[in-house]
Every structure is written in C-alpha cells, then in structure tokens.
C-alpha cells in the first residue's frame, strides 16, 4: 500500500530512493495509529511516533506556554554538599548568578528580539551605524569606523555596559592594530579583529589596557576607505560580503557569543576573557565584541607549560607542528 501512496502523489514518486522514506513514514503512521488505539487519542507525547501536530504548531504552542509561565519543567538542581562531585565553589557562583539576575531585573534588561534570516539585499543596511539592541549604542559597521570613533565611543560603550566606572574614562587610544585575515597567521574566519591599546584617565588595576575587538565581515569599504577589488587585500581590510551573509544572515552566532560573554562569563567555572562590551543590531546584523586581550605566548621548542597556562596560538591548519600533547589540548 505504501508504494501505491507514493505513486499517487503529485508528481508521483517513482524512484526507490523516494519511495523508501515514504514507506517508512507510512509504517510509522500505522504504528502510531495502533498505539493511539491502545492508550487513547488525547496523548501527544507518544515516544517514537509521528505527532499529531505539525512541528511548527507544536513549537508555537510550546513558546506560547513558555511566555505565559505555564511550563515548569523539572531541573537537576544544585549539587548536594558532601557529594564527591560537588563543586565547592558552586554555591558562591550561584549567589553571583542570582545577584546578577536581580540587578538585570532592576535595570529592566530585556532579552534580544528573535533572530530573523536576512537576504544579501537586506545586508546593504550593514553599511549604516545603527543602534544595538542591548545598550542602544551605535554599533560600528567596520573596524575603520571603530578606529575613527576612538576613545569617546569606547568610553560611552563601556559606561553603558557598566564595565567602566562612571568616574573614569578612556583618555586616548594609543594603538589600534588590525590582525591579519589571510596567510599563515590569519586570525580566524568569522570576521575582522584588532588589538586596541588604551590609556585611562585614572589608573585602575581592574581595567585592562590591552583589549581585543571583533566585528563581522564588512559588506564594503567604510567611509574614506579605498574600495579594494583584490579578494585577499579586501579580506585583510575586513571585507567579505559572501561570508557576512553566510555567517550573520543565516545563523545567530554573534548574538549567542555576546550573550554568553555578558551573562555567563562571570559565573563560568573556568576563566574566560573579561567582557567590556558587546552588542548587535538585529536590523542590519552589525555586531561588536570587545574583551581583554589574551596574552598568548610565542612559545618555542622546549617550552614547558603548567596547568592553566595560556598556550601559544596554533596557526590555522598548522597544528600538526605542535607537540602531540598540545595538539590534543588545543
């Protein structure tokens, strides 16, 4: 009967490669019908069977219940003291997380609006400096713009993010170094990056003067920048429209990264770069992340690294040059 169903489709499914999946679905529908007959038609959670609702209907209903606070799924809970797996630092981190949550509620922090896919035409707006959703601060479209905006914008961004005390400011940007995006020393592939050296109005041991900035690929040259037709030269300028569309318009990677640094960084049970600023504009997908600069060592033959030491950067596709232990840990 499954073959007849396949052949009666419009257009008919004549190849075996198409008929087999149809047969499998048909058989599962038959199995579900039998289970429903046994336990009743009002169950939607029959494991291993085809649900009555479409996936879209199920998700819409689930999200609606979630927004109304009607879902109270059980959670594992915190570790029991005395358990050999209990993290002694867990309770302190839990208190930090609760304090952060209360602070965010007092500040009226809202979650990001849902991600929506964009077309290449939509990304033409990426050349504009629009406000981000988290803090309402303009998000630089290119590294060149970020460099031009300088200390004034960095001060505003850090003040708004609460990572720089209001009675302090960035006095000047002492150095702005773009990282190479091509060749053996290419610094990743998700977008252009830069090291920024700053000087504060007032010294503070809690503030880093060496910072790291990351943006998505630009859609074109920024104001005052030369339009580059050579692909590799454009890449080193931070321009790659195709990968901008592929990464920013088809997935929510940047927003996830910003959210993790902002909300989870302080409570992770391991060290991660200190967060200074991150924001994303949903309208044009512009994104900016600024953290402390990781002091990667240059390394060399015979260098011994202890636990928790920062290991040297492994050049892209050259990790085979590392000693075997480091290949594993990378």
Give all domains of the chain, ordered by start, each with its CATH number: 106-292 (3.30.200.20)
Length of the chain: 330
Of 37-41, 171-175, 183-187, 215-219, the range with the lowest mean pLDDT is 37-41
The C-alpha atoms of residue 11 and residue 38 are separated, in whole angstroms, by 35
Residue labelled with tokens 């005395």: 82
**pLDDT > 70: what percent of the chain?**
67
User: In whole numbers, what is the pLDDT of the chain averaged over residues?
Assistant: 78
Q: Is the pLDDT of residue 46 over 50?
A: no
The C-alpha atoms of residue 294 and residue 212 are separated, in whole angstroms, by 8
Say whether 218 sits in a helix, a strand or coil. Answer: strand
Q: Report the DSSP pairing between strands 275-280 and 193-200.
A: unpaired
Q: Is the pLDDT of residue 41 over 70?
A: no
Query: pTM higher than 0.95 for the full model?
Result: no
CA angle 61, 67, 69 (to 5 degrees): 105
Q: What is the pLDDT of residue 78?
A: 52
The C-alpha atoms of residue 54 and residue 61 are separated, in whole angstroms, by 11
Structure tokens that stand for 163 in this block = 């990572």
CA distance readout (Å), 24 to 6, 27, 28, 31, 40: 11, 5, 6, 10, 23
Who wins on pLDDT, 116 or 14? 116
Alpha helices in 68-142 (DSSP H): 90-107
Who wins on pLDDT, 87 or 68? 68
Q: For the residues 51-62, what does the mean pLDDT come to?
A: 62
Q: What is the pLDDT of residue 75?
A: 47
Specify burial of residue 291 (Cβ count, 10 A radius: 0-12, 13-18, 19+). Answer: buried
Q: For the residues 41-66, what does the mean pLDDT come to?
A: 55
Q: What is the pLDDT of residue 177?
A: 96
The C-alpha atoms of residue 142 and residue 191 are separated, in whole angstroms, by 10
Q: Is the pLDDT of residue 224 over 50?
A: yes
């Amino acid at each position: 009967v499954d073959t007849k169903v396949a052949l009666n489709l419009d257009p008919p499914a004549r190849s075996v490669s198409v008929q087999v999946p149809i047969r499998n679905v048909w058989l599962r529908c038959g199995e579900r019908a039998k289970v429903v007959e046994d336990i009743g038609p009002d169950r939607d959670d029959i494991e291993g069977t085809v649900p009555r609702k479409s996936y879209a209907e199920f998700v819409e209903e689930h999200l609606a219940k979630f927004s109304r606070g009607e879902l109270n799924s059980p959670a594992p809970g915190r570790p029991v003291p005395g358990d050999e797996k209990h993290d002694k630092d867990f309770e302190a981190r839990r208190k930090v997380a609760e304090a952060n949550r209360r602070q965010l509620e007092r500040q009226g922090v809202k979650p990001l609006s849902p991600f929506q896919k964009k077309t290449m035409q939509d990304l033409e707006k990426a050349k504009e400096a629009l406000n981000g959703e988290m803090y309402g601060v303009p998000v630089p479209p290119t590294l060149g713009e970020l460099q031009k905006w300088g200390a004034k914008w960095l001060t505003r961004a850090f003040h708004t993010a609460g990572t720089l005390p209001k009675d302090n400011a960035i006095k000047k940007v002492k150095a702005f170094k773009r990282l190479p995006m091509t060749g053996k020393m290419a610094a990743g592939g998700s977008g252009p990056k830069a090291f920024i050296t700053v000087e504060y109005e007032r010294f503070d041991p809690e503030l880093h003067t060496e910072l790291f900035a990351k943006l998505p690929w630009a859609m074109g040259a920024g104001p005052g920048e030369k339009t580059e037709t050579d692909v590799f030269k454009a890449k080193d300028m931070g321009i790659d429209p195709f990968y901008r569309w592929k990464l920013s318009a088809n997935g929510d990677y940047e927003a996830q990264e910003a959210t993790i640094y902002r909300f989870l960084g302080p409570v992770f049970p391991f060290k991660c770069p200190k967060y200074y600023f991150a924001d994303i504009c949903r309208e044009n997908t512009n994104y900016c992340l600024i953290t402390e600069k990781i002091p990667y060592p240059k390394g060399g033959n015979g260098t011994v690294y202890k636990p928790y030491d920062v290991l040297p950067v492994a050049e892209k596709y050259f990790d085979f040059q590392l000693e075997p232990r480091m290949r594993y840990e990378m």
